[in-house]
């Protein structure tokens, strides 16, 4: 079954941030968030954040709580043998490939859409960038979700009215 991808953008403190819906979950663009810190090379910002021991522990716990197919054995292998060394670097692709992670979605290549993360993870990343920026992100994301709920309610009401008139 092919995953349905829907993309929209929100404006966070004059920064356009992509939102990608995969199935029924919205993922926030880490690439766009990283541009807040380094517009020239956002991928390096993401890798630097993911290579942090605290981040590694956080995203590992998130996967354990939310992903029944998470490769905990590989996670433990990385944690015991790599994390904490100055040479340790972790890219989104490496994380996904080695642990079967679902909290981060990344597509590279010539026509890359970038790296996206579940809101729990994206908010943590935004906090690392700037607590102020994180708060703006949360407010805009909440506004988007309220607008979606309102739109769904209107559509439900319109369908109900149409169903009654067709009787």
Q: Which two tokens stand for residue 102?
A: 């679902």
Query: Quick one: pLDDT at residue 74?
Result: 96
The neighbour count for residue 65, using CB atoms within 10 Å, is 10
**64 to 71, 83, 115, 121: CA distances (angstroms):** 9, 18, 20, 13
- Is the model's pLDDT at 1 over the cut of 50? no
Backbone angles phi, psi at 37, to 5 degrees: -90, -40
Q: What is the pTM of this model?
A: 0.86
Going from N- to C-terminal start, the domains of the chain cover: 5-142
Residue 49, number of CB atoms within 10 A of its CB: 21
Q: With 70 as the cut, is the pLDDT of residue 110 above it?
A: no
Q: What is the pLDDT of residues 125-153, one digit of tens each?
A: 999 999 999 999 999 999 999 888 866 65
**Taking CA 74 as the corner, what is the angle to CA 85 and CA 32, rounded to the nearest 5 degrees?**
70
State yes or no: pLDDT of 164 exceeds 80. no
CA atoms of 23 and 39, how far apart (whole Å): 29
């Amino acid at each position: 079954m092919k995953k349905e991808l829907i993309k929209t953008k929100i404006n966070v403190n004059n920064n356009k941030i992509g939102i990608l819906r995969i199935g029924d979950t919205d993922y926030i663009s880490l690439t766009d968030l990283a541009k807040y810190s380094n517009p020239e090379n956002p991928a390096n910002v993401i890798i630097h954040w993911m290579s942090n021991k605290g981040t590694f522990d956080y995203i590992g716990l998130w996967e354990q709580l939310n992903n029944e197919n998470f490769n905990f054995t590989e996670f433990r292998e990385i944690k015991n043998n790599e994390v904490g060394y100055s040479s340790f670097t972790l890219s989104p692709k490496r994380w996904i490939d080695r642990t079967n992670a679902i909290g981060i979605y990344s597509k590279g290549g010539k026509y890359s859409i970038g790296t996206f993360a579940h809101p729990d993870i994206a908010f943590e990343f935004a906090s690392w960038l700037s607590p102020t920026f994180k708060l703006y992100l949360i407010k805009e994301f909440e506004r988007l979700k309220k607008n979606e709920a309102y739109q769904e309610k209107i559509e439900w009401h319109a369908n109900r009215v149409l169903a009654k008139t067709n009787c």
